[in-house]
Amino acid sequence: MKKAMRFILEIAKLIIIALLVVIPVRYFLFQPFLVRGISMEPTFQNNDYLIVERISYRFRTPQRGEVVVFKRPMSNEFHIKRIAGLPGETIEIKIKDQGIIIFSNKKDYLLPPLRFPGNFRIFLEQDEYFLLGDNRLLSIDSRNWGGLPRENIVGRVFIRALPFTIIDTWIEDIEKIQL
């Protein structure tokens, strides 16, 4: 009887210690995210399993080119997109023969042709970001719903955990990313 009681206490201790480690990590440091849809192809595929780190944005602001997970305004669903415009910038999309050019205060980006009628211009407030899906033709993003408030950003993609064939970290060199 004493052996059984000791065994139960050891199991209880193990469970408590595990919870004391897992809960803070899950709710304050990292969050799992399952990609749904094709708006981030070719970077991420439908059903890719990602780990999102939540801590760095407590110490610094999100940067252009980073892939973030967020909640869209008036929605409880999580989404994934790439930051293309920063707070205080004016984003202007103009349709040209060779594609679409995004003009911001800092840099211009040439994008492939989009299903977006006419020209588009938006001024981002001091806490807003302009997000785009990597699959520009099929993504619903800031072109549709405007700037995203900073408070809606959950964190940035850190690791692609599944599928096992393409596990990699996602701390990228921002200068090498083609927005």
Catalytic residues: 39, 81
Give kind and range of the element (H or E) at residue 102.
strand 99-103
Tokens of 103: 């003009």
C-alpha to C-alpha distance for 149 and 41, rounded to whole angstroms: 24
* Chain centroid to CA 174: 14
Q: Are the beta carbons of 112 and 76 closer than 8 angstroms?
A: no
C-alpha to C-alpha distance for 120 and 26, rounded to whole angstroms: 39
Q: Are the beta carbons of 80 and 69 closer than 8 angstroms?
A: yes
Determine the 3-state secondary structure of 42 from DSSP: coil
